Amino acid sequence: MHNHVMPTYARFPLTLVSGKGSRATDDQGREYLDFVSGIAVNGLGHAHPAMVKALCEQAGAMLHCSNLFHIPAQQQLADRLCQLSGLDTAFFCNSGAEANEAAIKLARKFWFDKGAARRTIITATQSFHGRTLQTLTATGQDKVKIGFDPLPPGFEHVPLNDIAALKATVNDETAAILLEPLQGEGGVNEAADDYLKAVRALCDETGILMLLDEVQTGIGRTGEMFGFEHTGVVPDILTLAKGLGGGVPIGAMLANANVATAFGPGTHGSTFGGNPLSCTAALTVLEVIKKEDLLANVREQGARLRKGLQHLKDRNQRIVDVRGQGLLLGVAFETEVAGIIEQCRSNGLLLLSAGPKVLRFLPPLNVTAEEIDEALTILSRSVAQLEAA
Ligand code: PLP
């Protein structure tokens, strides 16, 4: 039969239909350990009882009503995210790209209101910020831009962790610096603590806004609620999505009060953003993370997984690096990893890559020690099978 879905994804030959916790089941009834988590989305795993209950209740009350009305769940979620992050106000949308679009707009409007000609956003090479025209232009990877010109002006790229290069690029047209504290799609590359601190200092000196894209790292993934907490550096604008809704689409852009005043009625909006259903999902994610002490679990299981991966590296010369934070870990190989992903899948473990040569691990935040050990066993068996073939 003709496939009517646009082929924008090179899909794995697998149809997942249900799941429970860290396990997903395909349409043939076969079970897999799911260390993809919908690309860092399903932080509570599949079908968490608290999520099922909260969503069913909210669906029975109201799914959507428009931002023309007050939405109590949205208000509560904004309060909670601001309390957790130290920022002052939140705008809700439906995805990571939209959250970054909002951040770019807010940064530009902030300077427009001041009467300053600062419009340029500086980002890092290898970064990933989304697929809309602004966010793919912000992205520091040429492959996502091919064929989409003319691209919007106002973006520059610098190598990550090179403060001299950043200082040489900053000028009186710079509006903001946009970074991921740990690049996910670009290969699991950490921004060094000292670098983030130096960026904050540079922004404090010049007034340039510091934007952090925590679409992938936010909501517990790195072992803190937000990746920036590892360094103590607080951004002026923070973007979230993926894990925020635990599988229900929602994005957020948080800003400090000084910057947020640039967005008044009519400056930005979203029909669906922050509707009762998605905010209920996000509130449930935050509640379960706290109640089940999942940040501690991320740190513990992240350390266990990392140790196991390091052990595999010590025995395998094709592995060049084990890196990342919490439960966003990458294993860099000398060669492409597509074959390993396929072999792991046939052995019952779902993994993904971050670029052609990096295996990426994104188990749910509530993964158990037994599941980590099982994944490590499947991985080393799969690597050994491929080497023996
Ligand atoms: N920013 C980062 C850091 C991401 O990892 C992603 C998605 O992978 C995005 C933005 C885009 O998010 P979305 O696909 O929800 O638009």
Helix, strand, or coil here: 94? coil
Strands (E), 47-99: 89-93
Q: What is the pLDDT of residue 131?
A: 98
HSE-CB at 287 with a 13 A cutoff on CA atoms is 13
> Is residue 97 within 6 Å of ligand 1 at its C-beta?
yes
Q: What is the pLDDT of residue 2?
A: 77
- What domains are there in the chain, each with its CATH number? 16-34+294-388 (3.90.1150.10), 51-291 (3.40.640.10)
pLDDT band at 356 (very low <50, low <70, confident <90, very high): very high
What is the rounded CA–CA span in Å between residue 64 and residue 383?
A: 48
Is 213 a residue of the active site?
A: yes
**Residues of the chain above pLDDT 70, percent:** 100
What mean pLDDT is reported for the chain? Answer: 98
Helix, strand, or coil here: 347? coil
Question: Counting beta carbons within 10 angstroms of the beta carbon of residue 312, is it exposed (0 to 12), middle (13 to 18) or buried (19 or more)?
Answer: middle
Is 293 a residue of the active site?
A: no
Q: First CA to last CA across the chain, in angstroms?
A: 35
- pTM metric for this prediction: 0.98
Cα-to-centroid distance, 388 and ligand 1 (Å): 37
Is 92 a residue of the active site?
A: no
Residue 273 has pLDDT above 90, yes or no: yes
Which residue CA neighbors atom 5 of ligand 1 most closely? 216
Q: What is the pLDDT of residue 1?
A: 62
What is the rounded CA–CA span in Å between residue 143 and residue 218?
A: 25
Give tens-digit pLDDT for 23-56: 999 999 999 999 999 999 999 999 999 999 999 9
Classify the phi-psi angles of 326: left when phi > 0, otherwise alpha if psi is within -120 to 50, otherwise beta.
left
pLDDT band at 161 (very low <50, low <70, confident <90, very high): very high
Helix (H) or strand (E) holding 228: none
Rounded mean pLDDT, 56-84: 98
Mutate to test the pocket of ligand 1, among 216, 237, 325 (most ligand atoms within 8 A of CB): 216
Among 243, 266, 238, 271, CA closest to 253: 238
Q: What is the pLDDT of residue 338?
A: 98
> Is residue 189 within 6 Å of ligand 1 at its C-beta?
no
Q: What is the pLDDT of residue 389?
A: 86
Index of the ligand 1 atom closest to the CA of residue 183: 3
> Is residue 184 within 6 Å of ligand 1 at its C-beta?
yes
> Is residue 183 within 6 Å of ligand 1 at its C-beta?
no
Q: What is the pLDDT of residue 376?
A: 98
Give 105's contacts (C-beta < 8 A, 6+ positions apart): 263, 267, 268
Residue 264 has pLDDT above 70, yes or no: yes
Among 355, 217, 218, 347, CA closest to 282: 218
Among 90, 104, 120, 94, CA closest to 256: 90
